[in-house]
Amino acid sequence: MKIVVSIILSTFIFTGVFSQDYGWHLGDAEDNSSIGISARSLYSGILKDMPSKTVIVAVIDSGVDAEHEDLAENMWINHDEIPGNGIDDDSNGYVDDIHGWNFIGGPGGNVHHDTYEATRIYGKYKYKFDNAVPGKLSKKDKELYEKYLKCKEEVEEKKSKAQLSLTNIEKTESVYLNSLDAIDEVLEDREINLENLKMIDGSEDRFVGIGKNMLLDLISRGKDDIDIDTLKSIIKELNQAEKEIHQVKVDYAYNPDFDSRKIIGDNYNDPTERYYGNNDVEGPDASHGTHVAGIIAAVRDNNLGMDGVSDNVRIMSVRAVPDGDERDKDVANAIRYAVDNGAAIINMSFGKGYSWNESIVEEAIKYAEKHDVLLVHAAGNDNKNNDETDNFPNDEYQGKGFLFFKGKQKFFNNWLEIGALSYEKGKFAAANFSNFGETEVDLFAPGMAIYSTIPDNGYTFLQGTSMAAPVVAGVAAILRSYFPSLTAVQVREILMTTVTVINEEVFIPGSYSDMTAFSKLCVSNGVVNAEKAVKKAMVTKGKKKIKKKEQNTRA
C-alpha cells in the first residue's frame, strides 16, 4: 500500500499554528479558523451521564503499539485466551491472540517491506505474455495482456527512476564531501569566517569553489561555529535516509522477484486459507497504525498526549499492511477475523490502484455486512478523482448474472469512503493531497496536521486520508457506544446526513488554480459532525435488539 502514504510533518511547522490546540480536529465546526467535528463538548454536554456500551474498533493497518501510555488502557483484550501458553484457548484458530492478530508474520518473523500490487501482476504474467502475439490471444487473455502491459510499463519506469535517483544522490554526496575536504585543506587551521573565505580563490579548483560557496551560504544564513566534520556527518545522514527510500523501491516495491510470503509460510495460491500468521500485532514499524489507533481511542482526559475521538472503545489491532501494497488475501482474512472477534467498526487506512483477487475481499465485506459491521476506508492521497481511477478496496461489486449476461453493479451499504479536510477554511478546505469523487467518496473529515500517538510513548503530527478515516471511525464508535441499538447501516445513514455542509467553491485537490463546488468532491457535500450525528441518533429508533446486559458496559 502507499500506506495511504502519510507524510510526517515537522512538529515545529505546526506548533506555531496549533500551539494552543493540538486537537483542532475535535473542535467546533463553526470555529473561525478550522472546521472541526464538534466532538469536544459532547462528553461534558449532551452525552454526560448517558449510559454507553464498550465498542470494539478493529484497526487493519501496519500494527499498533499495544503498550503505548495513551493507548494501553483502551486496547482490546481477548479474555478467552491465556497469554503466552502457546495454546488456542478459545479455539478460534489463532494462538495467543491477546490484542488481535498479524496476518503478515510467521514463525520466523514479520514482513516489513513488500512489493506493490502492480509489481505482483507484472511478475505473475511476465512469462506468459512477454513474447505473446496480441492477435492470437483469446478475448479473456487480451484483457489480462492489457493489464500486464500497463503494470509492466509502470513498474519498469518507476524502478528506473528510483535507480536514477540513487545514482544522483550518490554523485551529489560525493561532490559535497570532496568539496568540503578540499576547502578544509586550503583553509588549513584558519577559522571558518567571511574574511578568510573571501581570501580563497575558488576559480581554479572546482571542488574548492563549491566548498567555499557552501560555507559562504551557511554564514549568510547566520550559521556560526561551522565544523567541517559535523557538516559531512549531516550530509551523510540526510543522504542515507533519502537513499533508503529509493533503495526500498528498487529492492522490494518494484522487484517482481521478491517474495515476502517465505516469511509467512502460507500457501499464497490458496485464497481460502485463513489460519496463518502470528500474534505480534505491533510488527517492525507500527507508526502508521499506532497513529490511527490514537485518533480513535487515545485515553481521554488523562493529561497525556492527546484525546481520542471516542471514549468507551477498545482497539483490536489486525496487522495486514506492510511497507508496500497490502495483499487481498490478508485483507479479507483481517476483515473476517475482526468480525468474528466482536468488532463493530473496522478502520481501513490503506488502498491501492490494482487488485490481485478482488472477489475474496468482496466476500469478506459481504460477511461484515451480514454481521452488522461498519467499514471505514481512506480514499487515498494521490489527489485523484476516484470516480475515474481505481482505488481498492471499495464499495462496488457485481451482482449475480444470468447465462452470458453480467450482473448489475451494486454497492455495500456498510461502507464509508473518506476524503481529507485541511485545517483551513474557505477555498483551501479540501486537503491538497486528498482523493475525491462525487459518487465514490462519501464524506470528508479532518486529515491534515493531526496530532496522535506513535510507538514508544511518542506523539507527532501526520497527514493523510489515513488520518481522516479514523476520525470518522471514532464518531461512528460514539454512536454505536451510546446508541447500541443502531445498526451499521443506520450509523452510516446518520453520518452521511448530519455533515457540516460546505456551500462554497474550493480548490480541486492537486491544484491551486482550478476550483469546484465542494459538492463535486463527495456524495454528502460535507464534513463529519459528531454533535449533529449524536442529536440525530437520539431521535432515531434503532433496529438492533440489545440484550439487557449489553446496554451499559464499561470494560
Give the angle 184-188-190 at the CA atoms, nearest 5°. 100
CATH code, domain carrying 486: 3.40.50.200
Q: Residue 363: inside a domain, yes or no?
A: yes
Q: Which residues contact 6 (CB under 8 A, 6 or more apart)?
A: 288, 291, 381, 462, 463, 464, 466, 467
Residue recorded with cell 506523539: 459
Residues 523 and 494 in one domain: yes
The pLDDT-based confidence of 16 (bands split at 50, 70, 90) is very low
Residues 237 and 275 in one domain: no
The gap from C-alpha 307 to its chain's centroid, in whole angstroms, comes to 19
> What is the layout of strands, in order, in the sheet containing 100-102?
100-102, 313-319, 55-61, 345-348, 374-378, 415-421, 443-446, 526-527, 500-501
Q: Answer whether 484's CB lies under 8 Å from 538's CB.
A: no
pLDDT in tens, 228-259: 999 999 999 999 999 999 999 999 999 999 99
Residues 61 and 82 in one domain: yes
The pLDDT-based confidence of 22 (bands split at 50, 70, 90) is confident
In this structure, are strands 105-106 and 100-102 parallel, antiparallel, or unpaired? unpaired
Domain that holds residue 420: 3-114+267-550
Q: Answer whether 515's CB lies under 8 Å from 506's CB.
A: yes
Q: Say which DSSP state 455 is in.
A: T
Q: Residue 262: inside a domain, yes or no?
A: no
The pLDDT-based confidence of 553 (bands split at 50, 70, 90) is low
Residues 145 and 239 in one domain: yes
Residues 134 and 107 in one domain: no
Residues 9 and 84 in one domain: yes
Q: Residue 259: inside a domain, yes or no?
A: no
pLDDT at 546: 67
Question: Cα torsion at 253, 258, 262, 267 (round to 10°)?
Answer: 90
Q: Which of 199, 218, 253 is where one domain is finished? A: 253
Q: Residue 427: inside a domain, yes or no?
A: yes
Cβ–Cβ contacts within 10 Å for residue 8, how many? 13
Residues 64 and 86 in one domain: yes
Longest dimension (CA), the chain: 88
**How far apart, in whole angstroms, are the C-alpha atoms of residue 98 and residue 400?**
39
Q: Which of 227, 253, 279 is where one domain is finished? A: 253
**What total of structural domains would you count in the chain?**
2
Residues 235 and 303 in one domain: no
Q: Answer whether 103's CB lies under 8 Å from 327's CB.
A: no
**How far apart, in whole angstroms, are the C-alpha atoms of residue 344 and residue 313?**
10
**How far apart, in whole angstroms, are the C-alpha atoms of residue 307 and residue 313?**
12
Q: Which of 225, 253, 281 is where one domain is finished? A: 253
Residues 249 and 312 in one domain: no
pLDDT at 404: 62
The pLDDT-based confidence of 225 (bands split at 50, 70, 90) is confident
b (16+ CB within 10 A) / e for 27-50? bbbeeeebbbbbbbebbeeebeee
Q: Residue 219: inside a domain, yes or no?
A: yes
Residues 413 and 543 in one domain: yes
Q: Which of 349, 339, 287 is nearest to 316 (CA)?
A: 339
Q: Residue 402: inside a domain, yes or no?
A: yes
Query: Nine-digit cell at 374?
Result: 461498519
The pLDDT of residue 13 is above 90: no
Q: Residue 175: inside a domain, yes or no?
A: yes
pLDDT in tens, 458-509: 999 999 999 999 999 999 999 999 999 999 999 999 999 999 999 999 999 9
Q: Residue 295: inside a domain, yes or no?
A: yes
Residues 109 and 134 in one domain: no
- To 10 degrees, what angle do helices 139-187 and 117-129 make? 120
Residues 500 and 402 in one domain: yes
